[in-house]
Every structure is written in C-alpha cells, then in structure tokens.
Amino acid sequence: MSTSGLGGLNKSPNGIVIGLVQLQNPNVATTSELAAQTARIVEMVGKARRNNPAMDLVVFPEYSLHGLSMSIDDAIMCELEGPEVAAFKSACVEHRIWGCFSIMERNPRGNPYNSGLIINDHGEIKLYYRKLHPWVPVEPWEPGDIGVPVCVGPKGAMLSLIICHDGMFPEMAREAAYKGAEVIIRTAGYTAPIRHAWKITNQSNAFQNLAQTASVCLCGSDGAFDSMGEGMFCDFDGTVMIEGSHRPDEIITCEMRPDLVREARVNWGVENNIYQLGHRGYVAVKGGAQDCPYTFMHDMVRGEYRLPWEKEVRVTDGASCGFPAPEREYGA
C-alpha cells in the first residue's frame, strides 16, 4: 500500500505530489471583485509552490473564483480566452506547476456552465470539463455536455476532474476510471450538512474503481454561507491518506502513487470491481457474463429513465430556491 510520503515531503520517483487549497470562501459580485479574486488565486499558486517545492499539481475548489452567490450576471462570467484563465495560465508557467481551477463559463445559448480546467506548467489547458450534475435545486448552471474527460498529467498520471455533486453519483467516478483515470480530482463548494456524504463518497469512489481520489471544498464564511474545507486524499482501497481541517487557505498535500493504482488494477482478483462489473462470474463462465443486466442503463439510453415513484417527486425545478421554472428543453 502507498503512503502519503509525509504529505509529499519525501517524494518517491514514481509519485506525484498534489496540493489541495482550502480557499477562503469569497464574495464576488462585481467585475472589480472578480479581478481581485483572480489575483488572490494567482497569489495562492505562488504560495503552493513555496509551500512544497516538490508539488506537481495545485487544486483550487469549485467556486474559488466566483463564490457561492449563484449569480449568473453576464458581467462576471468567464470565457476560456478571457483574462481570468490567462492569469491562471501565466501563474502555472511562472511557478512551474500544474493547476486545477474553477470558472463559471459564459454560455450564449443558455445559462452559464460550471466549468473546470487543468492547466499544465507550460500554460496549456490539458483538461476542460463542464459539470454534468449541477446541485439541484440550488444551482442554476446548464448541464454539462462534453462528458467526463481525462488527461495525462505530471509523470504520466491519468487525471480526471469531477465537480462537487458529480461525486455523489457512482456512475461519474466509474466513467472517469473506465476512461483510464488513476487519480480522480473532486472540487466542491459544499457546506457542513454534506460532511458525512462527502467523506463516504470520496472513499467509495476510490475503492469501487481502484483509483486514488483528491477532493477539496471551499472553506470559511462569506457572511452568508459557511463552507467546510475538509480536503481529503483517499487510496485505492478506500482508506483516507490525508485529511484537512476547517482552516481557510490551508494547503494540504499528499504524494499520490498512480503506479500502485496500475499495479492493483492488473493484479487484484478479489474486489477488482471495475473489471468484474463487465465480467460477472468469470469463475463459472469463460470471460464472465458481459451482458448489461441493469434496467436503468437500458432505459437511460432510450431516454426513458423513470423511477417507480417518478410522479410523486415534488421538487423538479429550482422554484424553491428562487429560480423560475425553465421552459427550454435540454439541447434546444
């Protein structure tokens, strides 16, 4: 089993050191506040590099740029070619470090996207993701439409990014791992009521997929909302390697070992669940059953996903959180 290498201070030849920033929850409502928060994140990239010279990747939580206001004001929305992303790219180049960042992305065809970026130490966007599962009924963001991408990260580690509520769906981490992700990053803006679910899903997402997970929330109060911080790293057997506190702007670090993930995925027999999902009962039948016995999967493909209690579900739009019921259908 791998260890944290004392938070990455003792870095192995095969390890990558990841830093999770429990960034202070900001309050951003104007373009000047957006610019100031961009500068703050850039400053924290520098802190991460000074914090640990061996760090390969620094991860900022969801909403680290925009805060938790849920504002869709076009004036403070971002674009991939905009000044905020340009500043993040420059910071990664200046400090010779990879970075994972959060933006609320302008969408001329509807509500903004909640997007995440992984930028390498040459200032290139290596992963671009739009949150597939906005946290309904609270969040107004357009459902993501570009799937669950993976990228080759530092030292060849396969990385993926899922955002906050995404991680509550086992299908999300499974999709990331199925496409090769060895380290699944999860960024969030969660508040304290979600604490227990946050922990157990970070652990189960790791164990069910023989993956390592690196997850972090915003931290502290913006005067209205209290985020919980609680960054955590989980090993591929589901154990917690490193766990953060509730201290804003703390950077917790851990050495991740994608090489040991690869080893487990190839050599484990008992509980190699991501393989065994598609090879049921291979002791009894050659290669295992490779059918799809799951009704919900067939129904979803046909666009007919319906729960037995579907007609009884009471919250089906954002009206309870002050958003008007939408009339536009997905993809229109």
Catalytic annotation, pick one of 78, 89, 131, 234 = 131
> Which residue in the list 78, 100, 164, 254 is annotated as catalytic?
164
Whether 100 is a known active-site residue: answer no
The reply to whether 171 belongs to the active site is no
If one counts every other C-beta atom within 10 angstroms of the C-beta of residue 251, the result is 22
What string of H, E and C letters represents the secondary structure of the chain? CCCCHHHHCCCCCCCEEEEEEECECCECCCHHHHHHHHHHHHHHHHHHHHHCCCCCEEECCCCCCCECCCCCCHHHCECCCCHHHHHHHHHHHHCCCEEEEEEEECCCCCCCEEEEEEECCCCCEEEEEECCCCCCCCCCCCCCCCCCCEEECHHHCEEEEEEHHHHHCHHHHHHHHHCCCCEEEEEECCEHHHHHHHHHHHHHHHHHHCCEEEEEECEEECCCCEEECCCEEECCCCCEEEECCCCCCEEEEEEECHHHHHHHHHHCCCCCHHHHCCCECCCCCCCCECCCCCHHHHHHHCCCCCCCCHHHCCCCCCHHHCCCCCCCCCCC
Q: Active site includes 164?
A: yes
Strand partners, 162: 186
Catalytic residues: 62, 131, 164
